[in-house]
Amino acid sequence: MPVSHSVDREPSEATNSTENEHQNQTDNDDRPDDGLPINELFYSLQGEGTLAGVPSVFVRTSGCNLRCWFCDSYHTSWEPTHAWMSLEEILAEIESYDADHVVLTGGEPLLHDASADLLSELDDRGYHTTVETNGTIHRDAPIDLASISPKLESSTPTPERDPRSEIPEESRNGERRSRGAANRGDGEWEQRHESARLDLDALTELVETHPFQLKFVVTDADDMPEILDLLAELRDAATVPIRDENVLLMPEGATRERLAETRTRTAELAMEHGFRYTPRLHVDLWNDAPET
């Protein structure tokens, strides 16, 4: 089973302030100058992408500039919670595990200035780093694999796609859903999410600067025209080749039950278009257990 002995501090519940995109969903209490809002830090197997199956330490930051209705880490987006940790504390936790791969994830980890500092420190120590990003922010940082998951129109939280159906009363962290969650999903994030979910300049810079994989969450065949259009735009804009083998289709679903509905169709679409299929190993192995 995945293990964790970290982030045992009292978590603080972040605000939903919308004043600053790059500091959103974080609070100022107890914030170390060089720290990050950390929601989870744990050891598990990488579940997705070209490194699926590799033992890795996961550092999950809190805060996201998007609000996908199906977000499976809503405790970093819709209901952000975190403990502030200094870089020194984060590095000490990482070094306590016997792993040479680190996955920086979120939320959107590149929201935070200190993520670049953490990545530099990890690079100096010889770690392989993967950054799981939604592709809307580029930072000058050493990254061994940019795992970019551009969000499709089907991610937008319209009143019809109510995130309440995805947020259980008792969260994966054992946190209770706040009363505020009951008010999500009436479309208040629809416009912001829709206008921010794709940034071709940031996407282009990410693929030009780092080894990368493009990971698309697929619900059904209706997602394919948008994926193909975006790929065509990116291939026109980028000065590096975007090969089909760099394009991964991943079934939508954070539970075994939901994956059973989406994975075969997604695998067939990958074969049809010559893209890679990626499993969600952590869901197959541990369903929706926390820290996996």
Q: Which is nearer to ligand SF4, 51 or 152 (CB)?
A: 152
Q: Which is nearer to ligand SF4, 91 or 280 (CB)?
A: 280
Q: Which is nearer to ligand SF4, 64 or 259 (CB)?
A: 64
215 annotated binding-site participant = no
- Torsional class of 138: left (φ above 0), alpha (ψ -120 to 50), beta (otherwise): beta
262 annotated binding-site participant = no
73 annotated binding-site participant = yes
Bridge partners, residue 59, by sequence: 41, 104
Closest separation between CB of residue 96 and ligand SF4, Å? Answer: 26
The binding site for ligand SF4 (CB under 6 A) comprises 64, 66-68, 71, 73, 76-77, 106-108, 134, 151
Closest separation between CB of residue 271 and ligand SF4, Å? Answer: 25
Q: Which is nearer to ligand SF4, 44 or 76 (CB)?
A: 76
Closest separation between CB of residue 17 and ligand SF4, Å? Answer: 16
Tokens standing for residue 50: 């070209």
86 annotated binding-site participant = no
150 annotated binding-site participant = yes
Closest separation between CB of residue 212 and ligand SF4, Å? Answer: 17
142 annotated binding-site participant = no
State the binding site for [4Fe-4S] cluster.
64, 68, 71
Question: Which residue positions form the known binding site?
Answer: 45-47, 60, 64, 68, 70-73, 105, 107, 149-151
